[in-house]
Structure 1
Amino acid sequence: MSPRVFLRPRCDRCNLPQHLCLCAELPRVETRTRILLLQHVVETWKKSNTGRLAALALANSQLLTYGAQDESLDTALLSEPGTWLLYPDGPTSPPDAPAPKQLVVLDASWSQARRMTQRIPALRTLPRLVLPPPSPGMLRLREPTHPSGMSTLDAIARAVAMLEGPEAAAPLERLAALRVQRIADCGTLM
């Protein structure tokens, strides 16, 4: 006989277990830069996914799913003028280039993100916004698998800080820290 598994009900909006729901804490963050989240289908219903939280908090954002059967990705959005890719390596833009109008963020594991950049030709041609490595004091739930690793929400907050200043990123940083703290206080990884 197998042990009984109890699944905790999740919030339909933020996808976190209901006892960790952050919907009441979601800020409304206005940015000049449009954030286009390209979420790998495997990430869609993960409780650990932070891309969904970022999309809920950012007024100027759109969340698209990549890799779903019977769905094709409209790559026209990736070809809009002024579109950059948030990625740790690759062709960076010249220092005197104008700031991006749209920033594509891959919401995926490192291996999934690497495959996405290989399989979506439009991503390979975009200039890259490369973040500096995370500070040692950054709150995390687990150790990253990549030296520049951080959650999607943390990465977006850092990108917004670089592009629009720390004041614009502060609500996203608070949301990321609150998420980590709430989960840590429960003593569980959900």
Structure 2
Amino acid sequence: MPCITTRTELLIVRHHKETLKSTNTARMAELAMPRCRIVSYGSPGVPFDASVLEGDDTWLLFPDAHQTPEPGAPLPSRLIVLDGSWGQARRMVQRVPALRRLPGLKLPPPAPDSRRLRRPPHPDGMSTLEAIAGALAHLEGEHVAQPLYALHEHMIDRVMASRGRSI
């Protein structure tokens, strides 16, 4: 597992149904980056504490982001990343007003030939690890993102091998 030091702090808000999925890439991001942590959302009987979203220079990484940084503008020091299916992530934004108030970072769509563990229902869909790598490439440079892209590829290989499929 690589250890990737970032300037940007990452907070992953993971839908509780993602926790035990073998294809969940958020746990890889948390293991690889000391400035990354995961909080759970939507666990039955456990209200979500939106105070974890508060902080200066905090932005939301989301495909429907309403604002993106202009060239030369100050960059966020903290990024909120939603981890779940497209529908789960969209509902998190609808149900947590604090998420809607955050400035947003929108990434370009992934290359059409990108390898996938799950088929995204949205053309801009990508795994959490890919999205984090793309955001960090934009915010800190490709040299920070490259080990995360490599980790994503390695994870795909391992999951496919565990399913008895050739790499």
Please, what TM-score do these two structures have when normalized by structure 2? 0.91
Q: 1:165 aligns with which of 138, 141, 160?
A: 141
Whether the aligned pair in 1 keeps the contact of 2:69 and 2:75 (CA below 8 Å) is: no
Percent identical pairs in the alignment equals: 48
Paired with 2:97 and 2:89, the residues of 1 have a C-alpha distance of 13
Cα offset for 1:111? 0.4
Cα RMSD, aligned residues only: 1.7
Unaligned runs of 5+ in 2: none
Look up the match of 2:16: 41
Alpha-carbon distance between aligned partners in 1 of 2:103 and 2:44, rounded to the nearest angstrom: 29
| Higher RCO, 1 vs 2 (CA within 8 Å, ≥6 residues apart) | 2
Output the CA distance in 2 between the equivalents of 1:90 and 1:161: 18
1:127 is the counterpart of 2:118: no
Report the Cα offset of residue 137 of structure 1. Answer: 3.0
Q: Which amino acid aligns with 1:102?
A: R
Counterpart residue type for residue 84 of structure 1: W
Indicate the SS of the match to 1:161: helix
The superposition leaves residues 44-100 of structure 1 with CA deviations (integer Å, 9 ceiling, x where unpaired) of 111111111111111101100001133232222212110100001131145153111
Aligned match of 1:23: none
Measure the CA separation in 2 of the matches of 1:141 and 1:90: 24
- Report the equivalent of 2:3: 28
SS in 1 for 2:39: strand
Q: For residue 71 of structure 1, what is the aligned residue in structure 2?
A: 46
Letter in 1 for 2:129: L
Aligned residues: 164
Partners in 2 of 1:116 and 1:94 — Cα distance? 23
Q: Give TM-score scaled by structure 1 length.
A: 0.81
**What letter is aligned with 1:54?**
A
Query: Which has more radius of gyration?
Result: 1
Q: What amino acid does structure 2 have at the position aligned with 1:111?
A: G
